[in-house]
Amino acid sequence: MTAIQTVRVDLADRGYDIVIGPGILESSGERIKELLPGAKCAIVTDQNVAKAHLSALQSNLDEVGIEHDAIILPAGESTKSYSHLQEVVESAIALKLERDDAIIALGGGVIGDLAGFAASILRRGVNFIQIPTTLLAQVDSSVGGKTAINSPQGKNLVGAFYQPRLVIADSRVLDTLPEREFRAGFAEVIKYGLINDVSFYEWLENNWDAIRSGGDARVHAIATSCRSKAEIVSRDEYEAGERALLNLGHTFGHALEGIVKYKSEILVHGEAISIGLVLAHAFSARMNQSSPDDTQRIIRYLDSVGLPTNLSSLKEHIKSADQMMDFIAQDKKVSRGDLTFILTRGIGKAFVSKQVPPSEVHAFLSEALGG
């Protein structure tokens, strides 16, 4: 029997637990009631997740006597918008949610980001609980308190740092994920090994099939990823320094998402990050920081997982290196016009590099695009 693991995000009086294990969605009501006795809940979810998991959550909340209502939104990245943020906030107000009540995010990263931002501004802040239903959300977006919506000018440009009170990561709900979504989420798991844990990366190289199958290996991969992120967040909650390492591959990846206008039929977030991880390592090699052999090793592994590793599939959407540079210039990791990239000195040796010459990035992208 797979054991339940708990990872603590240590933020003093705002710290919280990430509970990880199979089948724990069905006991989430007990955990919520113990944490927030008497609270009423608004469940924010999307149409796809609602069909698969909403009834299980609602039944458990009914069993423990928690009053609740559901706000069901369209699925997809376009839901992270001003209009849907307004819909969630106005619906929560109509439900008469008070400051001691809670918004529950039941879904992937889009729902978690949107619901968390709504919780941060509703009555100047209500309780927020994450129940992530994708691998990507369980290991990344549900942890650490980053909440946001997208602007037409870029991804996650409007948001707030707002920590949840509890994260419930049921590893079994991932069995219902489409294969493409599971693989895409795995790119974020790989990222943690590439940042600062070469032994974890080596373990991942040898355990992809076991993780995909579920059981102990899946819980271990999720818990190790969450523990890595929790340790960084506890030291740098507001991304003043070290937390920027968690953006390895994201500057390139976010630019690609912006270019395809966040259309998931073309590119989902984890696929963009997969390409971004390769580009970050290749650019590091170009800047004489790491070996090209590391880049090739990463490409081989991502290929074996079934993730994209180059820009060839996006050629019809990427007009030029200039277009990519325009999106990179809007990235949140830009400071007063200077480019900040997360580079690497090898697998498990990522570092923050400030004032990267834009000309070097442009030349690199021109070559990657074939001229």
- Report the catalytic residues: 124, 146, 188, 229, 239, 243, 247, 250, 254, 269
Q: 264: Cβ–Cβ under 8 A, 6 or more apart, which residues?
A: 76, 77
71, 43 contact by CB (below 8 A): yes
Query: Within a 10 A sphere around the Cβ of 34, how many other Cβ atoms?
Result: 10
275, 256 contact by CB (below 8 A): yes
Place of tokens 């990507």: 136
Cα–Cα–Cα angle for 340, 188, 303, nearest 5°?
Answer: 105
What b-and-e string marks burial along 302-320, b requiring 16 or more CB atoms within 10 Å of the CB?
A: beebebbbbbeebeeebee
Sequence letter at residue 279:
L
Rounded CA-CA distance 97/80 in Å is 22
Rounded CA-CA distance 331/318 in Å is 17
Beta-bridge mates of residue 131: 106
Quick one: which H or E segment has residue 29?
A: helix 28-35
Q: 205: Cβ–Cβ under 8 A, 6 or more apart, which residues?
A: 301
Task: Look at residue 152 and give its three-state secondary structure.
Answer: coil
168, 106 contact by CB (below 8 A): no
Question: HSE-up of 318 (CA within 13 Å, CB side)?
Answer: 25
What b-and-e string marks burial along 59-84, b requiring 16 or more CB atoms within 10 Å of the CB?
A: ebbeeeebebebbbbebbbebbbeeb
Quick one: which H or E segment has residue 181?
A: helix 179-196
- The token duo for 147 is 């909440």
Antiparallel, parallel or unpaired: β 68-73 and 102-107: unpaired
